[in-house]
Structures are given as C-alpha cells and as structure tokens.
Amino acid sequence: MSHGARVIRTGVSSGGPAAPPPVTVASSSAGSGAELMDGGYFRSCAGMLKVAPMISLLIGFISVNNSAWTDYSAYSFFQIVTMCDLVMILFFYIMHIFRVYRKLTCVSWPLAEFLHYLIGTILLLIGSIVAAAKSYNITGLVAGATFGFLATILCVISMWSSYKVSCITQSTSKYR
C-alpha cells in the first residue's frame, strides 16, 4: 500500500527571518476515506484489466445471440458462462470502485476474486472450445468463440498480474 508522498518543511534557514511553521502535505492515489468512489481505480491497470474482459464477453455474447445456432446446448452453455462471468467481473469492479472490501472485512475478498477468476476462466475456456468446435464456419458463432478466447486470455492476464506469487530466496545460514 502506498502511504503517499510527504513534504516536510523545516523552519531552519541559513539567514533571514524564520520560516513559517512546518507543513506536512500527504497525498494518496486512493484518496481519503470520506470519498465515496475511488476515481483512480478507473485509470489503473487493474481497473482496465477488468473492463477489457467485460467488453470482450459482451461482444461474444451478442455475436452468438444474434447468429443462427446449430447446436442449442453448446451455445446456451456459452451464453450462460459469458453472462455469469460478465456479471461477476462487474460485481468485483463495482466493489473496488466503491471500496466495499474495506467495509465488509468478514469476507476474504482477494480469495473470493481469485476463485471467481479461476473457476470462471476454466468454464469460459471450455465454453469457447465447444463453441468454436460447433460453429460450422458461421461468422457470428466464430466471432463469439474468438471473443470468448480473448476474454479467457484477458482473465488469465488479470489473474496472473493480481495474484502472482513472488518467490523469495531464504538464507541458509543458521542463527545461533
């Protein structure tokens, strides 16, 4: 967490009258706790990585919904998975914007979001593979499957960038 930049002015001068009393200015990208919304999250990398799969999922859903289906079960599964993923990503996006995770501390939000991305990405990958296999070169269905694969890749990138594990080498020296 960033605590912001601090500027401290001292009252000591190399000559002349004494300077005004010390002033401490603190700024934070997250803003104060009194703000309702986190405006910086819109422009952050994590915020944009949530918007990109939502757009891709919406385009994939619309492409499949407006095409002639050849296999009802494959494309209804794809539509259900894309809409559920879109709604859950939107839920976590709104949660981050309004800082709900600070108020509801009884839930492990990073774990909940990680599990959503993990399960949702696996289901989206399965749905996209099935949709691509059953598309029979119908352009709308191919486009839907393509945007499903794109959303899968974006979800994996978002999951990797948010939850990467840093390996720290431990020293082998013994303390005596």
Cα separation of 93 and 52, whole Å?
Answer: 12
Model pLDDT, residue 150? 98
Domain coordinates in residue numbering, the chain: 65-173
Let me know the angle formed at the C-alpha of 93 by 101 and 60, rounded to the nearest 5 degrees: 150
Model pLDDT, residue 72? 84
Model pLDDT, residue 71? 77
Cα separation of 30 and 19, whole Å?
Answer: 32
Which pTM does this prediction carry? 0.72
Burial classification of residue 113, based on how many CB atoms lie within 10 Å of its CB (0-12 exposed, 13-18 middle, 19 or more buried): buried
Tens-binned pLDDT, residue by residue, of the chain (176 aa) = 455 555 554 444 445 455 554 544 444 444 445 577 888 888 899 899 999 999 999 999 999 999 887 778 889 999 999 999 999 999 999 999 998 888 888 989 888 999 999 999 999 999 999 999 998 888 999 999 999 999 999 999 998 888 775 445 555 555 55
